[in-house]
Structure 1
Amino acid sequence: MSNEFVTRSLDEVRFWSRIMKEHSLFLKLGFRCEDTQLINEANQFYAVFEAIEMKANAFTVGTDPQTILRFNQEVHNAASHIWAFKRKVLGLILRCQLPGANNFPLLVDHVSREAFYFRNRLEELNTGRLEPLPDAIIDENVFFLRIMADHAKFISHLLDPSERKLVDQANQFSHDFDQLLFQAKDLESMRPQSQTAPLLDQFLDQNRVSVKSLRDFKKTARDLIEACRIKSIIHPLLADHVFREAERFLFIIDMFENSLTGKPVPALHNVMD
């Protein structure tokens, strides 16, 4: 137990509790007006993660590690419950029990994968069983490359079809990130032999270039949506949500790059004293 444990825990909880809170809102907006039970459950999860977010923001890096360990356990429980809720919703959609609702099955699967990732990260922190750097580099990139590919698909399908240029750009990003994901999966299946510093360094460099391009596209789309300059059914908060996740991925890539090359690791930007 150390300050590093506290710092990393607060960084994860502050980032992902906000994401979970927003997922609750997006799911609620996609339900039909008659789905009152599901809407109520989504509202409850929104309140739970808003309270977690506020509590996390009240802690500092000087907080007693045992307090943070107990807090992580509480958040782990909440993440497990919202994961189960998301999987329940996915099952209802795939069994055609919510006809006319507006949550894509892939979107619900996507947000459930993020809940499972968050839950596992808290487990790793509390048990001290963090992956070795080479494994973490591959696994985190496999996870986030799929997230980025999904985002491009969602943007394409939620833009108005008349926004042909933006739809084409989103589809191209979807294709590019599918290819990057396939490459990452190849590197994954070749390990441990693939886990050489030159290969991992090139892997990070290549992904960084593509994620920066997607991040910039998301920022442009977000700004246009907020200014009501393009036609879409994308909630402005969703546009900002996917932009923040791209920023998160870029930060993780840079952190891995610095660890791999021996450079100083940048301070976690979500943690404030």
Structure 2
Amino acid sequence: MLSNNEFVRQSLELNLFFMRIAKEHSIFLEAGFTPRDQQFIEQSEMLKNIFSQLLVETINMSDGIISPEVANSGELVTDLTLAAERETQFYTNIKIDPNITRMEAALAESSPGNITMNTVRMVEDLNNRAIRAAQQIAGFKSNLLQNVLSCRMFTTNYPLLIDHILREAKFYLRMLTMLQKREEFDIAREAAYQETFWNRIMAEHSKFIRGLLDPTEEKLFDTANDFGKKFDELTLEAKNLSKDMGLLPEVTDRSLKNTVDIRNFKRQGTEGLIQCQIRSIAFPLLGDHVVREANHYIRMLKDFKKGKVE
């Protein structure tokens, strides 16, 4: 059973990462609807605001509590996030509050704080509200996916992308539920589960990048395509770990190397989008978003190598 200190720290770190991810999913969904679906645009805006408010609360609770590894990992914000938000707001006219990003970036400079029983109660309440919000956005994404697959509506987001972000919402819910129960992980089994999940996410990122590039960007297209194939193979290897857990260190090493490589590729792409040097129909914030997800996975893989799961 997790101690109070571990419960608080792990909860805040999880929420800082996934609340921002959920907020941005709402933005990407909102930007993809046609004028006909005004109701869905309004729902996306509402979800963006819910996760924005929850994220501000989480940031205020996290000062001096989250680990330096998380604060400096690049999974919460990067040095490109503010510019990516600014450009994406310009393109979409969807309001994105830059102060939230500045607040989250400042956590890296926090002094150590104390965890009291009041902190524990506040985090338990925060997690309960995060669970309800995650259930709400998962239901929205599920309804949207059903509508798109049955040709009842059109969106510029791929059906696979909607399914992809639905799986991320369900993953977030799983982690929140386990934390609320104070469950500790079986390290090897959790590593195998998360590597299967995140390698598939990295494979799909590669395929989305490939599909959002202009047809003239042939070199970038080929690089993204190659990453997609590599991570498809790594996903299969991670799935097969249930047959031989002895292969876990080898799979973790390969996953880490390839995730660092794709993170660097994504970062270069994001810089290119911000600087208007890449022909694409991707928003700069989507680029920064997938960079942060890669940074999160890199930190997790490093923890797996040390025999830790957080």
TM-score scaled by structure 1? 0.91
Instruction: Look up the match of 1:174.
Output: 228
Instruction: Look up the match of 2:129.
Output: 74
From 155, 163, 167, the equivalent of 1:109 is: 163
CA distance in 1, matches of 2:176, 2:252: 24
Offset at 1:21?
Answer: 0.2
SS in 1 for 2:132: helix
Letter in 2 for 1:83: A
Offset at 1:175?
Answer: 0.8
1:83-232, aligned counterparts within 5 Å?
83-99=138-154, 101-188=155-242, 190=243, 194-196=244-246, 199-232=247-280
Offset at 1:131?
Answer: 2.6
Offset at 1:47?
Answer: 0.3
1:14-25, aligned counterparts within 5 Å?
14-25=16-27
SS in 1 for 2:204: helix
SS in 2 for 1:83: helix
Deviations 1:123-174 (A, max 9, x none): 0001022330011110010010010001000000001011011011111111
CA distance in 2, matches of 1:27, 1:55: 24
Runs of 4 or more above 6 Å deviation: none
Offset at 1:186?
Answer: 1.3
The answer to whether the 8 Å contact 2:205/2:290 transfers is: yes
From 27, 44, 47, the equivalent of 2:46 is: 44
Offset at 1:66?
Answer: 1.9
Q: How many residues align?
A: 255
CA distance in 2, matches of 1:7, 1:131: 16
SS in 2 for 1:131: coil
Instruction: Look up the match of 1:271.
Output: none
Letter in 1 for 2:248: L
CA distance in 1, matches of 2:305, 2:205: 24
Offset at 1:65?
Answer: 1.1
Gaps of 5+ in 2: 66-114
Deviations 1:63-90 (A, max 9, x none): 5212211210110110011000000000
CA distance in 1, matches of 2:185, 2:6: 16
Deviations 1:39-68 (A, max 9, x none): 000000000000010000010332521221
Offset at 1:195?
Answer: 2.4
Offset at 1:206?
Answer: 1.1
Instruction: Look up the match of 1:6.
Output: 8
Letter in 2 for 1:123: T
Letter in 2 for 1:151: H
Offset at 1:201?
Answer: 1.5
The answer to whether the 8 Å contact 2:127/2:176 transfers is: yes
The answer to whether the 8 Å contact 2:234/2:251 transfers is: no
Gaps of 5+ in 1: 269-273
Letter in 2 for 1:195: M
CA distance in 1, matches of 2:236, 2:129: 36
CA distance in 2, matches of 1:130, 1:112: 25
The answer to whether the 8 Å contact 2:252/2:301 transfers is: yes
CA distance in 2, matches of 1:180, 1:126: 31
CA distance in 2, matches of 1:224, 1:47: 29
Letter in 1 for 2:280: S
> Over aligned residues, Cα RMSD in angstroms?
1.3
Identity %: 35
